[in-house]
Each structure stands twice: as C-alpha cells, then as structure tokens.
Amino acid sequence: MEDLEITAGFWTDRPVLVTGATGLVGGWLVKRLLRAGASVVCLVRDWAPASVVLADGELRDSISIARGDVRSRSAVERVLGEYEIDTVMHLAAQTIVGVAARNPISTLDTNIRGTWQLLEACRRSPAVKQIVIASSDKAYQDQPDRAYSEETPLAGVNPYDVSKSCADLVAQSYAHTYGMPIAITRCGNFFGGGDLNWSRIVPGTIRSILRGQPPVIRSDGRFIRDYFYVEDGAAAYMLLAEALAGSKVRHGDAFNFSAECPMDVLTLVDRILALMSSDLRPRVLNAASNEIRSQRLNSQKARTMLGWRPLFTMEDALRETIDWYRRYFAAV
C-alpha cells in the first residue's frame, strides 16, 4: 500500500485544529497528522475515553485538548487565537442516521449551527489559512441510477441528510462571500477500527462473528453504499488541505472521495464472514426506514485534480479492520 505523496515539511510543526477528534475519522486523522509532524489541537465537547484519540495514552499525551462546543463561537475563537491555528479540520457532527431521525433538533443544531459558528470564528481569525469541512454523500439529491458527481444537486430529505446539505451550502457561502480558504469533502460510509457504534454494519457484524452470533442486518440487505476505509479518508483530508494551501483548488470547491466499489449490505457481510472464516448466516430484519436505497460516488475529480487514490484495497481494508477488532476484544 503505497502512501500518497506528502509535501516535504508541509505539516511539520503546523498548528492544526481538529473538531470531532473523538469520532471515527477524527481519531485516525489525528494519528496521521501527528505522524506527519503537525502540532494538533482537538476541540472536545464530550469526553469519550474509548475513542481512538483518547484511549491510547501516548496518543492523548501528544495532542493539546481544548474542552468546548463547536456551537460556541467564542470557544472556537479562543482556541484559534491562543493556539495560533493555521489549518482547521472540521469533522464535528452528529453522524448517526437513526439518531438524527429520533432527535432531529440536536442533529440539525450540531451539524448546521456548529458549522456556521466555526466558520464565523475562522472569519474573525486572520491566522487561519486552510479550512477543510466534512460534508457527506448524504448531502446529495437521491439519484439511485447513477453515481453522484460534485455537480449533483444538494437536496437531502431526511434530518441527517438535510443537516449535511445545509452545512455544505453554508461552507460554500462563506467561501464565496468572504473569499475564505475552504474546501469540502463528500465521502461515502466510513468504516475501520475504532468505531464502537455497534449499530453500524461493519463493527456490528465483526463483533457478532467474534461472539459466535449471527450478524444482524437491519434492512433487507439490498441497500447499496460506497464503503470507505477510514485511513483512506484521513489521507484524503490532509491531501485536500495541502492542495488548498497550494492554490490547486478554488475556495468553496467540493470533492468526492470514494474507493468506487459500491456494494449491497449482504455482499459486504458475506465478505466479512469469508475473511473471518465463519459459516454463520446473517439475520435479516428488514426494518430500516428513512434511508436512501442506493448511493455511489464518482471520485474522478479528486483523482484528476488532486492525484488522489485509495491507499487500501477493499479486502486489505476489511482485513485491517477485522484485525483491529480482534485485538480490541482480546484486550477487554
């Protein structure tokens, strides 16, 4: 797995703020930034001791942790000023579709207001030179018969999807109105070690198999998604920040990142079962609602403009993920 080219010295001692660092992608992004030599500050609202970034004492001791809520402009401004932040990676969000359906207000508040408060704080902080905003493929208008390109309209319908559409548009607005150095990522369904939300298909399936129990599929198993390995996602965020610094992208530009190998849930579960040499069969509940039936991304723009490519094949990514959970459950 050949690594993406990193500009020599770009990240060395660079003050980087990561919001959402206790989330799945945030934790792996922090690890990657530290390996590149960055000085990482994490804005943390809720202490999540089991998260990738906090569970590892050595990793935790290598970052600066600022307690605060991304919805508080004053809290974000303080961190940007006191730590002299150069680059902002905004990943903080409520990311669970089911939670959004049950608690739309908190999801809309965190995902939309959190984005505009962070951007307003950045607008008032002249030291900030690059801002990468995490959107999602869920922000797009449902087009089940073809892959989403960056030109696909942003038109979410359900609460989570709407929150991502709105946050994406807010980011574009700040970039175009104020000339702010903002770039936007739209990624597929992340998976990888460290995701302890067992309702998600990859960690839930692996845990069930390790326990000798049939994996549970909430839907009918035919929902199609673009599954995207978390380490590939972390690498993509850093590459986009570098491209933004080097004026390779326009302010407000958005990029899809995907391995471009969409599959339905049953196929994914079968792959995990095979890699774990299990003869268990999944239990299909057919109970999912308020979810888009089929989603896939076209990443040609990122490949052409940024020279981006995944670092891992799907099989390698699943093997790495399975190994992570084997170690995790052996230690608990």
pLDDT digits (tens, 9 = 90+) for 222-260: 999 999 999 999 999 999 999 999 878 999 999 999 999
Q: Is residue 128 part of a domain?
A: yes
Q: Is residue 233 part of a domain?
A: yes
Q: Is residue 152 part of a domain?
A: yes
Q: Is residue 151 part of a domain?
A: yes
Q: Is residue 208 part of a domain?
A: no
| Residue 5 confidence (pLDDT) above 80 | no
pTM of the model: 0.94
Per the listing, tokens 């839907």 go with 219
The token pair at 278 is 């299990």
pLDDT digits (tens, 9 = 90+) for 66-125: 999 999 999 999 999 999 999 999 999 998 888 888 989 999 999 999 999 999 999 999
- CATH number of the domain that 238 lies in? 3.40.50.720
Q: Is residue 306 part of a domain?
A: yes
Measure Cα distances from 173 to 20, 183, 250 in Å: 22, 12, 13
Q: Is residue 167 part of a domain?
A: yes
Residues spanned by the domain of 153: 15-192+228-261+296-311
**CA geometry: angle 158, 161, 164, nearest 5 deg:** 145
Structural domain count, the chain: 1
Query: Distance between CA 147 and CA 327 in Å, rounded?
Result: 36
Please classify residue 74 by burial: count the beta carbons closer than 10 Å to its beta carbon, then call 0-12 exposed, 13-18 middle and 19+ buried: exposed
pLDDT digits (tens, 9 = 90+) for 146-189: 899 999 999 999 999 999 999 999 999 999 999 999 999 999 99
Residue 145 has what pLDDT?
A: 78
pLDDT digits (tens, 9 = 90+) for 272-282: 999 999 999 99
143 pLDDT tier (thresholds 50, 70, 90)? confident
Type of residue at 20:
G
Q: Which residues participate in catalysis according to the annotation?
A: 160
Q: From the centroid of its chain, how far is CA 325?
A: 19
**CA geometry: angle 247, 254, 224, nearest 5 deg:** 145
Residue 93 has what pLDDT?
A: 93
Chain-wide mean pLDDT for the chain? 94
